[in-house]
Structure 1
Amino acid sequence: MKEQVQLLKPKLDEVFAHLHKHPEVSWKETETTRYLKEFLEREGFNVNLFNGITGLSVTIGEGKPVVGLRVDIDALWQEVDGVYQANHSCGHDGHMTMGIGALLMAKERGIPEKGTLKVFFQPAEEKGKGALAVVDQGIIDDIEYLFGVHVRAADEMNDGCSAASLRHGAAKMVNGIIKGTEAHGARPHQGKNAIEVGASLVSGLQSIHCDPIISHTAKMTMFQAGGESANIIPGNAKFSLDLRAQENKVMDELYQHVERVISAVAAQYDVVIDYDVMAEMVAAEVDAEAEELMYQAIVSVVGEDKATRTVVTPGGEDFHFYSVQRPTVKSTMLGLGCGLTPGLHHPHMTFNQDALATGVEILTTALELTFQSKK
């Protein structure tokens, strides 16, 4: 298979170069979708666009088993050298390239011999909403095994190494508004100081304790109150909270504690605190069988000395919504070591592009092994 992938490499390099040069942010990946559609159709694939959202899917074969591969397509909006722009600093351009490569290899090798392969290109991963939107499309309802992939930073994994699963943590981003009462600085008894309310919220968050064995944090990440006048007690404020937990059950417990803190502080100061969850990610629910198949694929391609069972990472990834929303789906995500520096989401992130060919080989092998295991 390695020779087949190397023959494809010039085409993969061309795909990556185009996608890297033309990033698009979440829900606006229209040209990206068009490019993927036209490329795949030229290669002889039947492409299905998603309904009402960007992104698309390709289905090969029919019947069971049904095996899926998901890649994400959106870029980040961030400041690069003083200019805000769309930027592929999370590696989704590489993920798309590997998805295309896996499709080309599947066609080359006659995968699946029996069963159905679904490869889909998902929008809006960075918003944490794309996977849920694809779930609503119904495409994963009959999928038994689902694989994903994400490039990894050099401080987490060496170039040339790969992990059979990525155990991302859960995250919630909460936005809130404190509605107090403004007053003159000389008459604090006539007001309800939103800054004091915010300070109590911070103190309350620090008093939250869940299982210390499982990492978790709850902290205030934004607070805005008051104006330019130092003699006015501000009544209103805006705030944001960032919640993290390595397991979904701990996130549920953590969020319940946060709600109790907000309720208690609101009662203490007799103010209204409105809040809602603006974005969230669930923690990974890795299937042992899917992980084993991916591990076998990694060993087959790069050897046991460069294979790792799992990597625990506090970052979020909306891929894990698929198995949480559809518990019958057996899923895992390949972590691809590729010498990525300085880090994910850095405006000047870069990685060894030759590693994408290795990723294609591992993913194709994992798909092939999965179909073979269900004969």
Structure 2
Amino acid sequence: MNVIDLRRDFHRYPELGFSEFRTASKVVEVLKFLGFNVLFGEDAIDSDSRRGVPSKRELDEAYARALKYGANLEIIEKMKGGNTAVVGELKGKKEGPTVAFRFDMDALPIHESSDEDHYPHAEEFSSEFSGTMHACAHDGHTAMGLLLAERLADREFAGTLKLIFQPAEEGGRGGYAMSQKGIVDDVDFLFCSHLGLDLPLGEVHGGNSKFLASSKMKAYFYGVPSHAGGTPEKGRNALLGAATALLNIHAIPRFSGGTTRVNVGILEGGTAANIIPSEASMVIDVRSDKAEIKDELEERVKSIVEHSALMHGLTSKIDIIGEATTIQPDPELVSVVLEEAKQIDGFTSFKEDCDISLGSEDASFLIKRVQDRGGKGTYMNIGSPLPAPHHHHKFNIDEAVLPLAVQLLVRIGKRMLT
């Protein structure tokens, strides 16, 4: 297998969270071919713990499209309803620790650029699916995971290798559900990683403690419709209640004890100019570098939503649709990453931690679960310069990072499985 060819294939056929039917199908096929014991569908994820699951219509459309573009029917039949997690396990020839690596698979709802200076377009591997794009390097992550599987398939190691292919990282939706399934409960050492981050090619961070805890919430407001000109007093304006909440959410003060982020990213409501809106909804994101502050922000948002609704005679509800916590890498594993990276030609810059906050990451739940059970984990950054930021329609990685990253993962795996 060629890691760049695999990355380009996944890039060409991007799939949103819990809709990664084609991607997950290809992962299962490769792992089975290499001799791994493979868990997928509800065997690899706690279906009831998933957050922000797409509608049945969206899932059915994604399922049909995956079949059209080469997904294995027998495999994805077990993934129906959006249970697109995959776990591959391979036992070595001797007893030893269980070492896991986690890779995310999902894409983003972005229209990819068709400009000539956009490398995937120029090289003819840009997205075939309008409105969906790999704009965060998860295509590269998935390809790396399969090359790691191939390089260690000879079982010349001691212990158990576990490869975790996670759906729905975007929005913080899949990691928690996989952790709740218990798929890392036997893991002694867990390594997670991310490509890009606009770091120089050749730079490696052994850990990243700068990820923010986050909660993503969807709030619903329910009112009473009425004629906006004839009987406006008979209505209860749900959109007005949502707008009141929006302004007050953004007025939440910053905290002296830590970093905070608050954002209302979506506001929807109403059906016509002459109808008092009877329903409205909004999607809210709160984050902090401390889990307890994030929890306080979440409670304040819930209070604002409730009281904004009451001000306008509405009812309301709020759902958690995504979540992540903080990450505290274990120094022992940070050292392992950097020591192995220094043995690879092409890596030239080494840091123990990241310098800046990089958003949120739901691998945090998997790492925390391992650590809570006495194991160790880390999250490493593997640098690539970027022509545009993550989540941008011209995002792309320097593909030269891919073989370097595979070498690093292989060296880590062989070192830990002894």
TM-score tier after normalising by the smaller chain length: 0.7 to 0.9
- Report the Cα distance in structure 1 between the residues aligned to 2:402 and 2:243, rounded to whole angstroms: 48
Contact conserved, 1:185 with 1:233, CA < 8 A, in 2? Answer: no
Contact conserved, 2:144 with 2:406, CA < 8 A, in 1? Answer: yes
What amino acid sits opposite 1:125 in the alignment? E
1:22 to 13, 17, 24: 13
2:264 to 220, 228, 245: 220
Structure 2 gaps, min length 5: 43-82, 115-128
**Pair 363,246 (structure 1): closer, same or farther in 2 beyond 3 Å:** same
Q: Give the equivalent residue in structure 1 for 2:175.
A: 131
Aligned residues: 357
Contact conserved, 1:340 with 1:349, CA < 8 A, in 2? Answer: yes
Q: Give the equivalent residue in structure 1 for 2:163.
A: 119
CA RMSD for the aligned pairs?
A: 3.0
- TM-score under structure 1 length normalisation: 0.82
- Report the Cα distance in structure 2 between the residues aligned to 1:27 and 1:187, rounded to whole angstroms: 44
Superposition deviation, residue 188 in structure 1 = 6.2
Structure 1 gaps, min length 5: 1-9
Q: Give the equivalent residue in structure 2 for 1:165.
A: 207
- TM-score under structure 2 length normalisation: 0.75
Q: Give the equivalent residue in structure 1 for 2:111.
A: 79
**Pair 262,292 (structure 1): closer, same or farther in 2 beyond 3 Å:** same
Superposition deviation, residue 161 in structure 1 = 0.8
Superposition deviation, residue 178 in structure 1 = 2.0
**Pair 208,33 (structure 1): closer, same or farther in 2 beyond 3 Å:** closer
Contact conserved, 2:32 with 2:38, CA < 8 A, in 1? Answer: no
**Pair 162,270 (structure 1): closer, same or farther in 2 beyond 3 Å:** same
Deviates more, 1:351-360 or 1:69-78: 69-78
**Pair 14,178 (structure 1): closer, same or farther in 2 beyond 3 Å:** closer
What amino acid sits opposite 1:229 in the alignment? A
Q: Is residue 2:252 matched to residue 1:262? A: no
Q: Give the equivalent residue in structure 2 for 1:11.
A: 2
DSSP 3-state at the match of 1:87? coil
1:251 to 294, 317, 334: 294
DSSP 3-state at the match of 1:84? coil
- Report the Cα distance in structure 2 between the residues aligned to 1:160 and 1:199, rounded to whole angstroms: 47
**Pair 288,86 (structure 1): closer, same or farther in 2 beyond 3 Å:** same
What amino acid sits opposite 1:336 in the alignment? I
DSSP 3-state at the match of 1:80? coil
Superposition deviation, residue 85 in structure 1 = 4.4
- Report the Cα distance in structure 2 between the residues aligned to 1:220 and 1:127, rounded to whole angstroms: 14
User: How much identity, in percent, do the aligned residues show?
Assistant: 24
- Report the Cα distance in structure 2 between the residues aligned to 1:187 and 1:51, rounded to whole angstroms: 52
Contact conserved, 1:210 with 1:250, CA < 8 A, in 2? Answer: no
Q: Give the equivalent residue in structure 1 for 2:242.
A: 198
- Report the Cα distance in structure 2 between the residues aligned to 1:207 and 1:347, rounded to whole angstroms: 31
Map 1:19-98 to 2 at 5 A.
Answer: 19-42=10-33, 44-52=34-42, 53-54=83-84, 55-61=86-92, 63-81=95-113, 84-98=130-144
Contact conserved, 1:180 with 1:192, CA < 8 A, in 2? Answer: yes
DSSP 3-state at the match of 1:168? coil
Contact conserved, 1:50 with 1:137, CA < 8 A, in 2? Answer: no
Superposition deviation, residue 182 in structure 1 = 4.8
- Report the Cα distance in structure 1 between the residues aligned to 2:314 and 2:162, rounded to whole angstroms: 52
DSSP 3-state at the match of 1:340? coil
- Report the Cα distance in structure 1 between the residues aligned to 2:347 and 2:10, rounded to whole angstroms: 32
**Pair 67,244 (structure 1): closer, same or farther in 2 beyond 3 Å:** same
DSSP 3-state at the match of 1:35? helix
What amino acid sits opposite 2:324 in the alignment? M
**Pair 30,300 (structure 1): closer, same or farther in 2 beyond 3 Å:** same
- Report the Cα distance in structure 1 between the residues aligned to 2:106 and 2:268, rounded to whole angstroms: 30
- Report the Cα distance in structure 1 between the residues aligned to 2:142 and 2:243, rounded to whole angstroms: 45
